[in-house]
Amino acid sequence: MVIRMDAQYTENRKIATESYRQTIVRRFRKHHLASFSLGVLLFLCSAAILAPVIAPYDPDAMVGPFSGAPCKEFLLGTDQIGRDVLSRLLYATRVSLLVGVMATLISTVIGVILGLIAGYFGGVADMLIMRFTDMVMSFPYILLVLVAASIFKPGLWNIILILGFVDWPGIARLVRGNVLSLRETNFVKGNIVAGMPLRHILFSEILPNTVAPILVYATSVLAISMLDEAALSFLGMGVQPPSASLGNMLNGAQSLTILTSQPWLWIPPGVVIVVLVIAINFVGDALRDALDPNSEKR
């Protein structure tokens, strides 16, 4: 009994003296599913980054029989024109991750800037920005993306830009709300009274205090933009062949022969999308708990 209390005591002491980063890591590791997801994500990301090294074949070269079933030589079979599916899958994961990450970065930057301006300055700027946000949010998201994708030539960078420019309203609203409440805190008022430059107040005082919710929100934007890239490419309006993306590898499944008799062509990319998106969502959920200053109280 004494020993157990002792262990409890050292445990509590450890918690009391740990740094902020250690707290986050400890809380995050409580979510076993999220820790596992993080491992899966790291594995898939490194596989995608190392694609040129580990892919057994050139993804665009015809190396085997047409529509060959999986065998020793081609682990996931070959597609209609004899390209290796495994190699294409690796490169496709790379493209889809690139689209997701870049689109998320763009929309986060836009959202943060607009949210900071609207929240901090208020008045006319706030009104204009928020009404504009309302307007963009009123269009069904995927309709806007589809229309934009049909206007601009489909292609990797256009998809990234389109998704980036459509995804920001949620982040802008989130940042604005946080800035509004931070503006009323004493440390920000203190800075204003001390005559600190605006740039310092916005980017060194307010922004660091709202990074945690932005990070959590960005993970969901990442998941959504990867799903949207897949949907667009599936409809033939996203990443164009011959370059592979997870969505356009599924495009072939719209034909009945592939759907019915060549499942190795469409099930693997679909499974990779699901695994990637679900892992991102789990990590985001655990991050929300780990970064929330109130989560210890429950």
Partner 1 sequence: MGKYILKRILIAIPVLIGITIIDYGIMCLAGSPLAMLQGPRVSEGALEAKRIALGLDKPFYIQYFVWLGQLLCGNMGYSVKSYQSVASMIGSHLGPTLLLMGVSLLVSLLLAAPAGIYSAVHQYSKGDYAVVTLSFLGSSVPGFFLSLLLIYIFTVKLGLLPSSGMITLGTEGGAGDVAKHMVMPVIVLAASMAGSNIRYIRSAVLEILQQDYLRTARAKGIGRFKVIYKHALRNALIPIVTVIGMEIPMLFGGAIIIEQVFSWPGLGLMTMSAISNRDYPVIMGVCLLSAVVVLVGNLLTDILYALVDPTIQLQ
For binding to partner 1 (CB under 8 A), which residues are involved?
Answer: 33, 131-132, 134-144, 146-148, 150-151, 223, 227, 230-231, 234-235, 250, 253-254, 259-260, 263, 266, 270, 273-274, 277-278, 281-282, 285
> Rounded to the nearest whole angstrom, what is the least distance from the CB of residue 92 to partner 1 in the complex?
14
Contact 218, 227 (CB under 8 A): no
Q: 3-state DSSP call for residue 191?
A: helix
By C-beta, is 213 or 263 nearer to partner 1? 263
By C-beta, is 138 or 186 nearer to partner 1? 138
Q: Which amino acid is at 277?
A: V
Long-range contacts of 71-74 (CB under 8 A, 24+ apart): none
Which residues in 136-227 belong to E strands, given as ranges?
A: none
Contact 97, 279 (CB under 8 A): no
By C-beta, is 118 or 253 nearer to partner 1? 253
Q: Which residues contact 150 (CB under 8 A, 6 or more apart)?
A: 237
By C-beta, is 131 or 199 nearer to partner 1? 131
> Rounded to the nearest whole angstrom, what is the least distance from the CB of residue 265 to partner 1 in the complex?
11
> Rounded to the nearest whole angstrom, what is the least distance from the CB of residue 78 to partner 1 in the complex?
20
> Rounded to the nearest whole angstrom, what is the least distance from the CB of residue 133 to partner 1 in the complex?
10
Contact 224, 231 (CB under 8 A): no
By C-beta, is 140 or 208 nearer to partner 1? 140
